[in-house]
């Protein structure tokens, strides 16, 4: 959320948004399968031991759209319906973008006499159930937003503090598929119990993804810093629970096409939720080309579910990489410097044996070349190259 009051809060305090799909205080905690199939470099890492929410959801990172980054509080049911239409008509839905998620500001300021949340009459006159029905008929899913405090971050609607069970039942009765649960105005109640800090360390038992950063803004510095903050929690991610460096800004206008391509590629590699944050009803062809790159999406949705990480950084020249199923490796060569440069990923840095020969698939050029020992490319300032390496 980009509310003013919230900005004053610490990053950690602002960083608690859970994807709670079981709409009860569900504590279905299970052990977690040991990762398999990855190159030695990753397989040998210490197991951090997360308790995954075993609700069958989020086996790969969630994909969809959320209203906040572009619209903030200016949302209404017509716009949401048009967005659902556009997600289907453009083909984004068939690429996996299934969740249409309302963020803050969908409800009246006050609960009704029974204590229930009430959809805002001026903007959601048909109610949320009707919206869920509409979205479901299009083969999509509807997400909603609440907050662990007395009011949400915008302070235009109530939070769920003291009404957790009741609100969960309301959401379930409407057919909601996804809950984003924020942490504003929480009265500092049971801070320890709530585990407000560092949700990656605890949220896996109650949600399918959790924020690792404060809110993203539509600019290069914000985007790169979210990527870096999120990177340190990599070992906590896996099927059933994902680190969230916040939603995509691709298409909102504050970054260049190359910067947005880097944003999307790094989010995909890091197994971040891919939640589109622009107006898909009027996105440019360039924006669509980024969001619809199925080869990049495939990296994000790979069944192995291991978060790729920054494995080398020198003078703003970075190599990010991670294992994929089938012994493949995803690599991003990211030039965060101010001028064009040559970047190299050596096999020893990305978990391959030095003698391995691979097919290196360039996911933006859609071309394949053979490589051995390293991958080297000239990369423009703020641009990146993204590859999947398949050992021959």
For the annotated catalytic residues, the residue numbers are 182, 215
Nearer to ligand NAG, 14 or 93 (CB): 93
Task: Write down the least CB distance from residue 281 to ligand NAG, Å.
Answer: 14
Distance (Å, rounded) from C-alpha 39 to C-alpha 75? Answer: 45
CB 304 within 8 A of CB 38: yes
Distance (Å, rounded) from C-alpha 271 to C-alpha 227? Answer: 11
Task: Write down the least CB distance from residue 376 to ligand NAG, Å.
Answer: 5
DSSP state letters, 129-146: HHHHHHHHHTT-EEEEEE
Of the candidates 305, 301, 227, 243, the residue with the CA atom closest to the CA atom of residue 32? 305
Nearer to ligand NAG, 195 or 373 (CB): 373
Question: Would you call 381 helix, strand, or coil by DSSP?
Answer: coil
Pairing of strands 141-147, 99-101: parallel
Nearer to ligand NAG, 228 or 359 (CB): 359
Nearer to ligand NAG, 90 or 116 (CB): 90
Of the candidates 1, 16, 8, the residue with the CA atom closest to the CA atom of residue 182? 16
Nearer to ligand NAG, 114 or 285 (CB): 285
DSSP state letters, 275-330: EE-S-TTS--HHHHHHHT-HHHHHHHT-TT-PPPEEEEEETTEEEEEEE-GGG-EE
Task: Write down the least CB distance from residue 358 to ligand NAG, Å.
Answer: 11
Task: Write down the least CB distance from residue 284 to ligand NAG, Å.
Answer: 8
Of the candidates 278, 265, 369, 281, the residue with the CA atom closest to the CA atom of residue 318? 265
Nearer to ligand NAG, 108 or 362 (CB): 362
Task: Write down the least CB distance from residue 342 to ligand NAG, Å.
Answer: 8
CB 21 within 8 A of CB 172: no
Task: Write down the least CB distance from residue 91 to ligand NAG, Å.
Answer: 11
- Kindly list the residues in this chain that would bind ligand NAG in the complex (CB under 6 A): 285, 344, 372-374, 376
Of the candidates 122, 119, 216, the residue with the CA atom closest to the CA atom of residue 176? 119
Task: Write down the least CB distance from residue 263 to ligand NAG, Å.
Answer: 21
Nearer to ligand NAG, 151 or 374 (CB): 374
Give whole-number Cα distances, 10 to 15, 39, 188, 253, in Å.
9, 37, 13, 27
Of the candidates 327, 287, 324, 275, the residue with the CA atom closest to the CA atom of residue 304? 324
Question: Would you call 68 helix, strand, or coil by DSSP?
Answer: helix
CB 58 within 8 A of CB 204: no
């Amino acid at each position: 959320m980009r509310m003013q009051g919230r900005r004053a809060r610490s990053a950690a305090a602002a960083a608690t948004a859970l994807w709670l799909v079981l709409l009860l205080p569900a504590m279905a905690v299970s052990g977690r399968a040991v990762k398999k199939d990855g190159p030695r470099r990753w397989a040998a890492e210490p197991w951090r031991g997360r308790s995954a929410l075993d609700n069958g959801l989020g086996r790969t990172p969630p994909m969809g759209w959320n209203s906040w980054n572009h619209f903030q509080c200016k949302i209404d049911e017509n716009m949401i319906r048009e967005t659902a239409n556009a997600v289907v008509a453009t083909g984004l839905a068939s690429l996996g973008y299934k969740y249409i998620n309302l963020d803050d500001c969908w409800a009246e300021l006050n609960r009704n006499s029974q204590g229930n949340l009430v959809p805002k009459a001026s903007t959601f006159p048909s109610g949320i159930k009707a919206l869920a029905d509409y979205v479901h008929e299009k083969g999509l899913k509807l997400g909603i937003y609440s907050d662990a405090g007395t009011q949400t971050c915008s302070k235009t609607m109530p939070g769920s503090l003291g009404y957790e069970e009741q609100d969960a039942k309301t959401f379930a009765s409407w057919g909601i598929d996804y809950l984003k649960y924020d942490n504003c105005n929480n009265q500092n109640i049971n801070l320890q119990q709530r585990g407000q800090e560092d949700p990656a360390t605890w949220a896996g038992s109650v949600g399918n993804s959790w924020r690792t950063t404060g809110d993203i803004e539509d600019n290069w510095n914000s985007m790169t810093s979210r990527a870096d903050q999120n990177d340190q929690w990599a070992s906590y991610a896996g099927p059933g629970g994902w680190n969230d460096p916040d939603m995509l800004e691709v298409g909102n206008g504050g970054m260049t096409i190359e910067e947005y391509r880097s944003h999307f590629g790094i989010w995909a590699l890091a197994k971040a939720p891919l939640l589109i944050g622009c107006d898909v009803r009027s996105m440019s062809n360039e924006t669509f080309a980024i969001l619809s790159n199925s080869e990049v999406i495939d990296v994000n949705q790979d069944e192995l579910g291991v978060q790729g990480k920054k494995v080398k950084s020198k003078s703003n020249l970075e190599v990010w990489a991670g294992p994929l199923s089938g012994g493949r490796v995803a690599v991003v060569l990211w030039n965060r410097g101010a001028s064009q440069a040559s970047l190299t990923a050596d096999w020893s840095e990305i978990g391959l044996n030095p003698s391995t020969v691979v097919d290196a698939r360039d996911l933006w050029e859609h071309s394949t070349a053979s490589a051995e020992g390293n991958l080297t490319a000239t990369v423009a300032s703020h641009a990146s190259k993204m590859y999947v390496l398949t050992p021959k």
